[in-house]
Structure 1
Amino acid sequence: MSKSAATHRVRQSAFRTRSTVVAAGLGALMVFGAGHAAFAAGTTDVSTALSAPAQLVSEQAAAAKKAAGWTNPVENYVVSATYGKGGSMWARKHSGQDFAVPTGTPVKAVHKGVVVKAGPNGAGDGPAYGNAIVIKHANNTYSQYAHLSKVQVRVGQTVSTDQRIGLSGNTGNSSGPHLHFEIRTTPNYGSAINPVTFLAKAGVKI
């Protein structure tokens, strides 16, 4: 074989190798739709193109985890009266956890469920609670939100985790704007358990 022929074959082999690598890369990007779109737009960084689907999956997983989990009922709060605290403000010991927030602060469902109580007079639990909401969750667990300035859900409505259900206020037996929050084993007054301990077990820090 002549020297020129050997050189020609080497060049052909190198060309085929480069073509195979490019084809394989494009094939992978075709599988990851976002990567293919990035190449169509002129992007030549394969790692950047391939990271887009992974990021999307990560965001979807985070959203799914949030939807399935628990959350705080309000944001940017100051913890005030705690569960079990005694004093003249309550007929018995304090049955929930208070979050000091300005009137009109959005109040969110701490977990998905169905509204079983909503309205004035503590939604049936007495005037001390003011405007209130009770939501039924799985495993006979209920959450209660009281002293609201506005109720924005109705009985029978299904709500999702982190969905706004009302606005905080100062209604009922209240010494200042705040949210009174309870976790109960029934929908009614007298069945409250420590909400901070309960949420901590669910992965939520107060």
Structure 2
Amino acid sequence: MSKRTMIHQLRPSVLRTRGAVVAAGMGAVMVVGAGAGVASADAGKAAQPAVVDAAAAVAAQADAQATAAKAKAAKKTAKKTAKKTAKKAPAWVKPVTKYTLTASFAQGGAMWSAKHSGQDFAVPIGTQVKAAGAGVVVKAGPNGGGDGPAYGNAIVIKHNNGKYSQYAHLSKINVNVGAKVKTGQNIAKSGNTGNSSGPHLHFEIRTTPNYGSALNPMAFLRSAGVNL
């Protein structure tokens, strides 16, 4: 066989071998590429839950902070409201709510051995009697609480400003000596005990706890901002 014939026969064989090698190489590349793509996709899928969890945690923290801020604001508002209410609360009030004014302070007449020492509020028996101001009970009981039988059942309260208030002719006493009372607190029920011409509350403002130191109670209450 001549050299030329041998060369012609070898060339197709070599080409086929090279083609097979190239094809195999491309297949390997394609396989590796596909594997890399799958691995990359799997990695992306694995990363997604972490991102979602982080976002949820941030949202939960934001909600918690917002809730805490709202609670703090509500507490602050409640505190301000309580402060305003405390400021508006009156220091002095009327001893009874519904009444008819009868015998007034310093009024003269056969009913009294001297001029009238207080202000009378005509009310039905059993009407709630309130502390005109905050203080401490220093007298409470029959015989005017120690001021004499003309007052019947009576109470005397010492107030923070050094003045005293007296409530007389009561049908029932709801406080004891030494008790601390608040402005407007129910302390007794009105009656007709002692030297009384009919159901009413006898009310005094005094400079001492005892009879004989009375001031004009209406003038005092009006000066304290009480409308009568």
TM-score range, shorter chain: 0.7 to 0.9
Letter in structure 2 aligned against 1:124: G
Q: Which residue of 2 aligns with 1:141?
A: 163
Q: Which residue of 2 aligns with 1:204?
A: 226
Task: Verify: 1:161 aligned to 2:170, yes or no.
Answer: no
Partner SS state of residue 32, structure 1 = helix
Normalising by structure 2, we get a TM-score of 0.66
1:98-129 CA distances to partner (integer Å, 9 max, x unpaired)? 11110000101011100000000011111100
More helix by share: 2
Task: Verify: 1:119 aligned to 2:136, yes or no.
Answer: no
Point out the structure with max Rg over C-alpha: 2
Judged with a 3 Å threshold, the aligned counterparts in structure 2 of structure 1 residues 28 and 71 are, in CA distance, closer, same or farther, namely same
Q: For the residues of structure 2 that align with 1:186 and 1:56, how far apart are their CA atoms?
A: 38
Q: Which residue of 2 aligns with 1:48?
A: none
**1:146 Cα deviation (Å)?**
0.1
Task: Verify: 1:32 aligned to 2:80, yes or no.
Answer: no
**1:63 Cα deviation (Å)?**
4.1
Q: Which residue of 2 aligns with 1:61?
A: 84
Alignment of 1:38-57 (within 5 A): 57=80
Normalising by structure 1, we get a TM-score of 0.73
Q: For the residues of structure 1 that align with 2:215 and 2:169, how far apart are their CA atoms?
A: 19
User: What percentage of aligned pairs have identical amino acids?
Assistant: 61
Letter in structure 1 aligned against 2:99: Y
**1:140 Cα deviation (Å)?**
2.0
**1:138 Cα deviation (Å)?**
1.8
How many residues are treated as equivalent by the alignment?
A: 167
Partner SS state of residue 33, structure 1 = helix
**1:28 Cα deviation (Å)?**
7.0
Q: CA RMSD in A?
A: 2.4
Letter in structure 1 aligned against 2:127: T
